[in-house]
Structure 1
Amino acid sequence: MRVRKISLWLATLMAGAMALPTTSLAADGPHANERYVLISHAPDSDSWWNTVKNSIKQAGEDFGVQVDYRNPPNGDLADMARLLEQAAARNYNGVAFDIADYDVLSKPAMRITAKGIPVVTLNSGTDEESRKLGAIMHIGQPEYDAGKAAGERAKAAGVKSFVCVNHYATNVASMQRCKGFADAIGVDYKSSMIDTGVDPSTVASKVGAYLRSRPDTGAVLALGPNSAEPTIQVLERMGKAGKIYFGTFDLSPAIIDAVKKGELNFAIDQQPYLQGYMSVAAAIIAYEDKTKDPAAIIATLKANPKFQARLKTYGLEPIYTQDGVRSGPAFVTKDNVATVEKYAGQYR
């Protein structure tokens, strides 16, 4: 496989397809006609996925292929299912997507694998669900385990109760994060969770109301920037910043700043760059090398000098398993925040 230079281009949707956002990259060289796509569940407002977008752009550059990013503007899973159907109809050379809800997405996803198109799953979902869909591998963070590891940290600090600020309650991964934390400290996750949606004012209102009605709450767990950033502001206004145990998933500049100031005890970095880059790269290798063997694909990727240079530059550390890749959890605290601050929100 050769490396070619990428140039930006504007893609048009196939005739009759629903007009949903797409980001496309075109390549020059012998593989320029190859086209891949990463489909996410994320609404346009979810800034966390910017890192994934950056990573697939660089994967396209490194492998010299065309890469699209597509998502439902409002995070509607029915729209995501339609995007998968469109990917099957368009006959991409490879498809990557997250399993936000297996029941909703399994049917359109299997239309892709039924055509023999290489599929890699990332982010939400489990290895088992990935295998059921016929995917080559899953690249992500085991969400329940990450939540439980966070809860064990809180328990060691004496936390006995918490509120889980869930900004995307229809995503199974969100529930797994809350449940893992709750199980670690020994409480019921359903009674400890609030469904806030992604609107910042609504998140702030619901978090403030919960803490005022339950002033003895021992900890707050946010599930990403959409819930963490408004919560940071609420805790500052209530005079609780730095006084209540507070952790979140994922990174953003505001989250990094809160960790530095001691307002956040930790942020769990699931290294989204790895999820985007490696899922697209694995699909490319599977197509070009005509293999669906995870071990062979990972070996090829580990030997790729461009990818290894990316890892070194951004300080990323994938965990390789027998049949996939773990991108986290990695805890960011005051002790190590300086090492990830430079690239937060871009490549970390």
Structure 2
Amino acid sequence: MKSIFTKLMLTAAVIASPALATADDHGDDLKYILVSHAPDSDTWWNTVKNGIALAGEQMDVSVEYRNPPTGDLADMARIIEQAAATQPDGIITTLADFDVLSGPIRSAVDQGIDVIIMNSGTVEQARDVGALMFVGQPEYDAGLAAGLRAKGDGVESFVCVNHAISNTVVAQRCQGFADGLGVELGSQMIDSGEDPSEVKNRVQAYLNANPDTDAVLTLGPVSADPTLLALDEMGLSGEIYFGTFDLGEEIVKGIKNDIIEWGIDQQPFLQAYLPVVILSNFDRYGVLPGNNINSGPGFVTKDALEKVEEFAGVYR
């Protein structure tokens, strides 16, 4: 296992001796594997795939994307173990469930493989498993910012449509939103599941049972797209305050048509692109950013859609 002290000494050695070509004696034949928790059906991750592909091309390194086809986290743990067994130069992975995934990640680190946590997890969890850093959006802070914004717009109650209930960090978006409004989360967060029909039905059931709900908060296209259909069927499109995390083709249309107030862009492209660039430069030159990287949040509204609309689902 390469200790933090060793990594710092390697960095110092490169600064002191420009003639040293690499920090870890790797050369140019570098390989990185990104492992996500996303099922094959979640198209939001296409942007992540585009991010590592472009970074691999630009940095002239080999990159590979792996994921559990159904989103099963036990399967993901096995995929991390299998990736580590091939001894890549680095693993980039989400940390969707600390209890399930921390063991395989620590094992990879113990084998001398550099790891960067992206998208899911926290800075503290990344440090705990021995990762170099975390690249992603601080979920609670993003939810809090959204809640404060909604409170300023007059929102007092909401339903948070959580399609990723097993990813405990994602629920922090709902908690932060509630805290921003200054209300209890309680039963305002619903487990919608990922099936589009179920998401739509559960949103409609909640709003029918709670007709005074001021706002809907969705946590990505998986829940946002069916919610758009649910609101349309109920005659609530454009009538109820609607905010969402992440972007996608239907979300962008919803913002453009004044149905969705804003989308929170955590920039998944950067979450995948930057770790490849960071690992490449660390392996070749021993240089490493001193801090974790916040890729979001950023609010995308109707008046800032031009560039987003052009690249939605591809790089945004």
1:204 to 200, 208, 229: 200
CA offsets 1:184-229 (integer angstroms, 9 cap, x no match): 1122223111111111001001001110111100100000000000
Distance (Å, rounded) in 1 between the aligned partners of 2:186 and 2:231: 22
Q: Report the Cα distance in structure 1 between the residues aligned to 2:300 and 2:161, rounded to whole angstroms.
A: 19
Which residue of the other structure, out of 156, 161, 167, is the alignment partner of 1:165? 161
User: Which residue does 2:61 correspond to in 1?
Assistant: 65
RMSD: 1.1
CA distance in 1, matches of 2:94, 2:275: 10
Show the counterpart of 1:297.
288
Query: Given residue 164 of structure 1, which amino acid in structure 2 is its aligned partner?
Result: C
Question: Matched residues in 2 for 1:344 and 1:263: separation?
Answer: 17
Query: 8 Å contact 1:124–1:172 — kept in the other structure?
Result: no
1:103 counterpart SS class? helix
Q: Which amino acid aligns with 2:241?
A: Y
Counterpart of 1:117 in structure 2 is 113
Report the AA paired with residue 277 of structure 1.
Y
1:247 aligns to what SS in structure 2?
strand
Q: CA deviation at 1:35?
A: 1.6
- 2-side partners of 1:236 and 1:173: how far apart? 30
2:129 to 117, 126, 133: 133
Structure 2 residues without counterparts, runs of 5 or longer: 1-26
Shift of 1:339: 2.7
Query: Are 1:331 and 2:299 matched, yes or no?
Result: yes
- Amino acid of the structure 2 residue aligned with 1:324: N
Q: Is 1:145 aligned to 2:136, yes or no?
A: no
SS in 2 for 1:297: coil
**Letter matched to residue 138 of structure 2:** P
Unaligned runs of 5+ in 1: 1-29, 299-321
Alpha-carbon displacement from aligned partner over 1:215-270 (angstroms, at most 9, x marks no partner): 10010000000000000111111111111110000000110010000000000001
Q: Residue 42 of structure 2 corresponds to which residue in structure 1?
A: 46
2-structure distance, mates of 1:103, 1:168: 16
Query: Take 1:226 and 1:89, find their aligned partners in 2: how far apart are those partners?
Result: 33
**Matched residue of 2:47: which SS?**
helix
Question: Equivalent residue for 1:287?
Answer: 283
Aligned to 1:345: 313
Matches within 5 A, 1:270-281: 270-281=266-277
Select the residue among 214, 219, 223 that pairs with 1:223.
219
3-state SS in 2 of match to 1:45: coil
SS of residue matched to 2:272: helix
| Contact 1:95 1:283 (8 Å CA) reproduced | no
| Cα distance in 1, alignment partners of residues 59 and 203 from structure 2 | 45
Counterpart in 2 of 1:26?
none
Q: Residue in 1 aligned with 2:16?
A: none
Which amino acid is 2:315 matched to?
A: Y
> Residues of 1 paired with 2:151 and 2:115: CA distance?
39
Residue from 70, 76, 87 that aligns with 2:72: 76
| Paired position in structure 2 for 1:315 | none
> What displacement does 1:173 show?
2.3
Provide the rounded CA distance (Å) in 2 between the counterparts of 1:132 and 1:276: 21
Please, which of 76, 84, 89 is the counterpart of residue 85 of structure 2? Answer: 89
Displacement after TM superposition at 1:178 (Å): 0.6
Q: Secondary structure at the match of 2:170?
A: helix
What secondary structure does 1:173 align onto? coil
| In 1: Cα distance, 2:163 partner to 2:179 partner | 20
CA distance, structure 2, for counterparts of residue 286 and residue 80 of structure 1: 26
Query: Following TM superposition, by how much is the alpha carbon of 1:34 offset from its aligned partner in structure 2, in angstroms?
Result: 2.4
Classify the secondary structure of the residue corresponding to 1:220: strand
Equivalent residue number for residue 187 of structure 1: 183
**Relative to structure 1, is the Cα distance of residues 286 and 190 closer, same or farther in structure 2, using a 3 angstrom cutoff?**
farther
* Distance (Å, rounded) in 1 between the aligned partners of 2:304 and 2:30: 40
Structure 1 residue 153, shift from structure 2 partner: 0.9
